[in-house]
Structure 1
């Protein structure tokens, strides 16, 4: 869709603060206007996220139930077979998904048989006509190129929070490590999926700084997931309060205004949101959700497929079709 909105990569912190802190209804109105300029407001991309290797991760991400150092009761599972993954991907497509994301609880990709298996999975899912996304931890430029050659469409690597707050949450890798992986993905010609999590104990300034980092990249991420902390028993952040849904709305709306061309994904935390609360997120510019046939988003709860279908019917939403998904906006 054509738009009068200019893509900007030079946002200042002050500009983002002004957008973020304005009265909520005005913020939502502005975001909804931008959203309709760049996207069809009645279409929401349905994505399926599958944990192809679960638990046992050596990282110390304070929110993550898959970190080996925390006692969360998560069952560690080895890498799935290609045939099982492709079968699940086919069922996801039949249920309305146009994007399939495979997640492995690794710190980084290693050049071994497991990576070869991932490449075969990517090729297999690509062949059934889905956008293929992976989130595998840190990857090198060479590994990114191999994923692209296998048919990978997108790579997810979230910033999680601001650079200043990052070491309060993770100590086993640096913020620059995150940005380096995003750079390797971009160099390989793979679309970037990168967002963050709110409710980690961060300040509003941290949220604004994270959005500033994302929106001032040389090219905005094509996909920006906005997650609410899914509190997992046994992790250091398990006792933090539930994220207020209006905070999710504010983040989504600000992200939509800053990065109008991007898909803004209403991600973790939906299981604790009512239909009404999710509706405000769609009004504010979210145009993607994650589903899973296991009713889990990796290892945390996620709404049932039937509940999402009922919500779509109530709100007049429909799943976005793959042929309508493009990273190219016509020139004005």
Structure 2
């Protein structure tokens, strides 16, 4: 059994050994760690809304929102504050406790759109939900403004390993991503950072990404594990879907490396059966995204998720649970 304390000094060899543990043993080890730090019957339900869609100048090979690719994504400008608050309220009523707003920007600019996003954050915060944003690169000053507006978490994924990064994106560097994470952390905002598998990467790239995440000065509080949803018109449109066992290896390894993190079973759930998702929960996943869309890609319906929760005797996690635990201790 691996050392299950909170460590940020993992070696790549240790990560590789965990990742390549026989899969049923890996599930057992990860489930054991999971029970030390989390309620295994509790899963956080999040909603992700695209507040500004398409027209992005980046060239992320997986993304249908890049302006340079011909996809069926309908470009729309930033939604109004009122539209976003209405969507957040609907998400809360449907059982979500975290509301994430995504904008297809390369970086945040100090303009009217950013001012409107700050108003969205303030509005959603008043609903008692954890507010998350994913808006691209961010300066420390912008991060502080988001924090002051009530932002709880900021998502900025590494996507893949540093070695494989240039094969996926050329319009920004790996260091750019790490700098944004640093700016978010310095503003005392919860860090949400994970990646995608199924991009054509090698096993060592998955190990490399997990190694980078688990050796940050502090572990991300939230680690989304995404399976590529190949979209026609993008450079990765021909990529085959990854197997559930590959997702389980990522989730189980992430759980052992980063015991306290929320491991989010993110993109790719639509193709998974309830049984496959149950294995992911056993391996340490304790969060999903609800709603029929995940930004622009299909996602299971809320009704299907509710039935799955009933079948597996899962219960939704409350908002701000970490703060409640700290205040009671």
TM superposition score category, shorter chain reference: over 0.9
Equivalences for residues 26-65 of structure 1 within 5 A: 26-65=25-64
CA distance in 1, matches of 2:322, 2:43: 11
Equivalences for residues 203-242 of structure 1 within 5 A: 203-242=202-241
CA distance in 1, matches of 2:134, 2:33: 29
SS at match of 1:219: coil
1:219-249 alpha-carbon deviations (Å, 9 max, x no partner)? 0000000000011100000101111111001
SS at match of 2:45: strand
CA distance in 1, matches of 2:301, 2:322: 24
> Counterpart of 1:115?
114
2:312 maps to 1:315: yes
* Offset of residue 321 of structure 1: 1.1
CA distance in 1, matches of 2:107, 2:259: 31
TM-score for the superposition, normalised by structure 1 = 0.96
SS at match of 2:101: strand
The answer to whether the Cα contact below 8 Å between 1:24 and 1:250 also exists between their aligned partners in 2 is: yes
CA distance in 1, matches of 2:326, 2:214: 17
2:78 maps to 1:75: no
CA distance in 2, matches of 1:241, 1:12: 30
> Counterpart of 1:144?
143
1:189-231 alpha-carbon deviations (Å, 9 max, x no partner)? 0000000000000011000000000000010000000000011
1:158-195 alpha-carbon deviations (Å, 9 max, x no partner)? 00000000000000000000000000000000000000
Q: 1:63 to 1:284 in 2, by over 3 A?
A: same
The answer to whether the Cα contact below 8 Å between 1:226 and 1:251 also exists between their aligned partners in 2 is: yes
* Offset of residue 324 of structure 1: 2.8
Instruction: Give unmatched runs, 5+ long, in structure 1.
Output: none
> Counterpart of 2:183?
184
SS at match of 1:56: coil
SS at match of 1:103: strand
* Offset of residue 5 of structure 1: 3.7
> Counterpart of 2:253?
254
> Counterpart of 2:87?
88
> Counterpart of 1:130?
129
The answer to whether the Cα contact below 8 Å between 1:46 and 1:289 also exists between their aligned partners in 2 is: yes
1:44-75 alpha-carbon deviations (Å, 9 max, x no partner)? 00000000000000000000000000000210
* Offset of residue 327 of structure 1: 9.0
SS at match of 2:128: coil
The answer to whether the Cα contact below 8 Å between 2:30 and 2:256 also exists between their aligned partners in 1 is: yes
* Offset of residue 325 of structure 1: 3.9
Instruction: Give unmatched runs, 5+ long, in structure 2.
Output: none
The answer to whether the Cα contact below 8 Å between 2:4 and 2:256 also exists between their aligned partners in 1 is: no
Q: CA RMSD in A?
A: 1.5
CA distance in 1, matches of 2:97, 2:296: 22
1:67-93 alpha-carbon deviations (Å, 9 max, x no partner)? 000000210011001111011101111
The answer to whether the Cα contact below 8 Å between 1:13 and 1:208 also exists between their aligned partners in 2 is: yes
TM-score for the superposition, normalised by structure 2 = 0.97
